[in-house]
Each structure stands twice: as structure tokens, then as C-alpha cells.
Amino acid sequence: MFCVRTCSGLMGLRAAPRVRSLHSFPGITIDEEVAKLLALKAQIGGDNVKHQFVLKTAKGTRDYNPKQMAIRERVFSTIIGCFKRHGAETIDTPVFELKETLTGKYGEDSKLIYDLKDQGGELLSLRYDLTVPFARYLAMNKITNIKRYHIAKVYRRDNPAMTRGRYREFYQCDFDIAGQYDAMIPDAECLKIVHDILSELDLGDFRIKVNDRRILDGMFAVCGVPDDKFRTICSTVDKLDKMPWEDVRKEMVTEKGLSEEAADQIGEYVSLQGGMELAERLLQDQKMCRSKQACAGLSDIKLLFSYLQLFQVTDKVVFDLSLARGLDYYTGIIYEGVLTQAGVAPGSTEAQNGTPAEESVSVGSVAGGGRYDGLVGMFDPKGRKVPCVGVSIGIERIFSILEQKAEAEVMYKKNPKLLSQLQHCEESGIPLVAILGEQELKDGVVKLRVVASREEVDVSRAALVDEIRRRTSQA
């Protein structure tokens, strides 16, 4: 606490009459002079008070210890090996771009871009992904044909969920094919790469969902969505992997202004999953066949599955009409790789026949991509387009999963206190703790504690695994 003394005070104020004499100067008050003295005291460190500096990483970032780096190096080696087997060469681009390069490419996610302060005449932003810089690179260097991979950090002002591998600074591993080729062959190769990487990393059961932006746009049109609402409704549909249909429908109607009838018609379509048979069935659908866009997309989905059969990966690929991917630059096929809990496999008879989307439960997206034929033309002075398709591997999510699998720690004490164990969990970022004591043994339950909130709930032993899966998927 700082006090002003009337005699030999810290800053040289002497007697009370001197202080009172300040009133004789127009526009000067004692409060103003005291504020100045306080500011000066803070500058020179008055009373030898030291500033409390908290040592921590910035929100949404983390350090990696040697054990974690060993896991990362193994994952990178697996991914790069797959990229090179498919003939890709690597490039690099700056970590920041001109702000206008990134503006208008990400739809509603544009608000997550990190803008930098003016550094001498250029407005700059940290890169949000590796796809837009790649398109800028192609246009700037007049490249019309390349198969490339790029592994680098990107930045997003997102709400981080560290236990699920969501950060504000994170790596992306991208593979892209630019150039004019026969339809769906490069697209099928990208899906084959996702299949190979997820299989080789042994992350557990997975599926690769595919759709087409032309099918989505055609579906919106025949369901009565106004043209100017296509992109915003698409962004809402993209939330179906995180929100139940009831909440998505409510957002469409109450926030986006869509009619209830149109929303209900969309709901009928986005509940469907399947394979080539579903695409054939939708080509005969009375509504969908009215849209040339949708028919073109459905024909390409059929062609895609014929190539996927040759690659022998159809057991893991499902045509899912709820897949939207909110980025504005996609123009055709889109896809997403997700880890799943046990259920009916995507390639099963039920899935292929176009049943509602209840076959398996997603526990996290680990890959995504699609076709973006118009992005390069946005940077070319003459608007020349270069067809492109690519995929990005969600490396941080994969790291989190493999790190959890590698953990087999024990506390080196005979009888560790519960408080010490809980503190260890907090420091290590362990999200859940299962507590089994005398009372729990008597009651036939396990006490499940959420480390962050310290919430505790009793769960039956039979339901414990499902409860842990549910809570970790929401983390």
C-alpha cells in the first residue's frame, strides 16, 4: 500500500501547507498529483515491491517433453512416408500472410483468424490453414500441376480443448493434388491416403464420411432455402457432428430465419447414410432430380465409389448427407475421417441401404478435406482456375490419442494419499478420475470425478466404460 507523508515522505512531499497550496493553481487537483506519483512509483519499483510474474504457456498452446516428441516424430514419419509413396514433394510458405489473402475464404470461421498489428504499412494475419497459402503460391508462381505435401503450424482464435487436441497453435499435415485430371481419380487417391494413414497409426476403428457441396446446394434449393442463405445454412448443418438435430433445426429457424417446412425437409435428407446404392436411389428422388447440381454431385459420388472399390477401402467409407464442412472454398467432393465407437460398420448392409445416421458414434475428427477448383483463380489476375483437391490430417488430435495410449504411469508410493493423486491428475491434464474405495465396493459403483470442475458422480460398474467414453467425447 502506498501512502503520502507530510514530512520526509518517499517522493519528497513535505508539509501539509505545501499540499494545500496546490489548490491555488488553476486546473490542478491533489488527486491528479497523487495519481502521477503513483505512476512514477510503479515505474521505479517503490517499496521494493516485485511484480508477480506467472510462468505458463499462452492459452491454447503447450510444450512437448522428450517422450511426447518421440511420439510426434513417429507420427510425422508415418504420414510423410505415406505422402511420399504417393509421389508428393514438399514446399513451405510464410507463417503470416497479407490479411487480404485470407479474408473471405473461411465463411463464419473468418472470425477465428489472428490479425497482427500494422508493421510498417502491411496488414498481416497468421495463417489459418495451409490450403489458402498453397493456392496463393500456385497463382503467384503460375503453377498448374503439382502433387505436394506441407507440414507446418497454423493459428486459430478458437476456444481450446486441450484434452481433445484442440489448440490455438497446432500442426497441419496437408496433401494436395493440383491439375487437370480425369474425374474422381485424384479424389479417390486422397481418400486412400486417409485410409492408409489411419490404419497404419492403429488409432482404433474409424470411418471416412464423404459428400459433395453440389449435392448440399441442390438439396438446399429443392428444400426451399433462399440462395443467399446457402452458405450460412451449410455452416449450421456442419454442426451436426457436435449438436443433436433438434438444436441444429432450432438454429436454422430462430437464428438463420429459415422456414420450419424447409428445415424439416433438410432433416429428412441429412439423416441418411450409405454408399453407391444411396447415390443411385437419390438420383431417382423426385425432389433431388430437379437439381442439375445435385445430380452432377451424385453421379460423381457413384464414380468415386467405383474407384474406392478398386482401392479396397469401401468398408471404411460412407456417403453421409449430413457432412457439410463449413469452409467457403469447397466446390465439389468433401470428406472427413472420424474415429468411432463400436456400432454397425459403415460398409454394412444397413448403412449401404441409406438408413438414418445411427450406425456408429463419432469420438473425434482426425482428417478432412475436399475439392476447391475455384480458390487459385481468386488470386490469379486473369482469374485462371487450377482444379485442386486435398486432405489435411488432424495431427494434434492424433497426438493426444497416442499420448494417452502411451501413458502407464504409477505413483512411486506405497499408500499415496487421494489428494496427492488428484493433484497429480490436475498437473498432468488427466480429465477424469475413477475412485474405488470401501463405500464404492459396498455399493457396487465407481465414483467418477471430473478433474477440472471437481464434479463427482456415482456410476455403476457396468455403465462405467460408456460413461467415460461419453464424457471424453464431450471434453
The domain 66-404 is placed in CATH, from the list 3.90.226.10, 3.30.950.10, 3.30.1950.10, 3.30.930.10, at 3.30.930.10
Annotated binding site for L-histidine: 129-131, 156, 172, 176, 325, 329-330
In the prediction, which pLDDT does 23 show? 47
pLDDT bin (cut points 50, 70, 90) of residue 287 is very high
| Residue-wise pLDDT tens digits, 185-231 | 999 999 999 999 999 998 889 999 999 999 999 999 999 999 888 88
| Residue-wise pLDDT tens digits, 59-106 | 889 898 998 899 999 999 999 999 999 999 999 999 999 999 998 888
Q: How many CB atoms lie within 10 A of CB 233?
A: 25
Instruction: Please report, rounded to a whole number, the percentage of residues in the chain having pLDDT higher than 70.
Output: 84
In the prediction, which pLDDT does 159 show? 80
pLDDT bin (cut points 50, 70, 90) of residue 356 is very low
Whether residue 274 has pLDDT greater than 60 = yes
- The model's pTM is 0.72
In the prediction, which pLDDT does 409 show? 59
The residue behind cell 478420475 is 433
In whole angstroms, give the CA distance from residue 449 to residue 375.
47
Is 187 or 239 the better-scoring residue by pLDDT? 187
| Residue-wise pLDDT tens digits, 316-337 | 999 999 999 867 889 999 999 9
* Domain ranges across the chain: 66-404
Mean pLDDT of 126-152: 96
Q: Crossing angle of helices 230-237/213-222, nearest 10°?
A: 110
Amino acid in the structure at residue 105: K
Annotated binding site: 129-131, 156, 172, 176, 325, 329-330
In the prediction, which pLDDT does 4 show? 37
Is 23 or 340 the better-scoring residue by pLDDT? 340
Of the listed ranges 15-29, 45-59, 282-296, 384-398, the least confidently predicted one is 15-29
pLDDT bin (cut points 50, 70, 90) of residue 342 is very low
